[in-house]
């Protein structure tokens, strides 16, 4: 599974020595939230009329954790900086072959790169917004 994840058509493993870990795959597979239903609260009617037809999905937040493993601290720093630069480009096409899906993600404007590291490895936790969960590319 190391070579089966791509960011903007670049192998996550080959280019950044990184892989998705922890709950990242589960977070990608979670069902998106539903937008609030339209309602009509007219004073002339008892209660509230709720229109349940045509439900729509809303944008969603996705938290992904990347593990970067290198042979040296210098290589780790270079790979981490390259991955951060790629993630900060705007629209990210995250192709996950095991999920048979390419997700369209945007780095969340309030996101920070949370780093936990040792001498030659680190984890990077990043929050993204998926603007339209129905706009995915099936493989």
Q: Which domains does the chain have, with CATH numbers?
A: 5-33+53-138 (2.40.30)
Mean pLDDT of the chain: 89
User: First CA to last CA across the chain, in angstroms?
Assistant: 16
How many percent of the chain have pLDDT more than 70?
A: 92
- Residue 3 confidence (pLDDT) above 90: no
**pLDDT single digits (tens) 70-118:** 998 899 989 999 999 999 998 999 999 989 999 999 998 766 666 666 7
Give the pLDDT confidence score for residue 54 in this predicted structure. Answer: 87
Determine the average pLDDT of the residues in 43-59.
89
Q: Answer yes or no: are the C-beta atoms of 67 and 123 closer than 8 Å.
A: yes
Collapsing DSSP to helix, strand or coil, 104 comes out as: strand
């Amino acid at each position: 599974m190391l070579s089966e994840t791509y960011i903007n058509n670049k192998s996550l493993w080959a280019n950044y020595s990184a892989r998705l870990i922890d709950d990242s795959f589960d977070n990608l597979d979670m069902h998106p939230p539903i937008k609030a239903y339209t309602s009509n609260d007219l004073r002339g009617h008892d209660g509230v009329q709720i229109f349940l037809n045509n439900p729509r999905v809303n944008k969603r937040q996705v938290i992904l954790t990347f593990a970067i493993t290198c042979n040296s601290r210098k290589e780790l720093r270079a790979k981490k900086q390259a991955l951060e630069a790629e993630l900060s480009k705007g629209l990210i096409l995250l192709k996950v072959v095991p999920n048979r899906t390419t997700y369209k993600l945007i780095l969340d404007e309030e996101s920070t790169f949370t780093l936990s590291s040792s001498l030659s490895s680190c984890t990077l936790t990043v929050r993204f917004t998926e603007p339209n969960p129905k706009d995915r590319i099936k493989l």
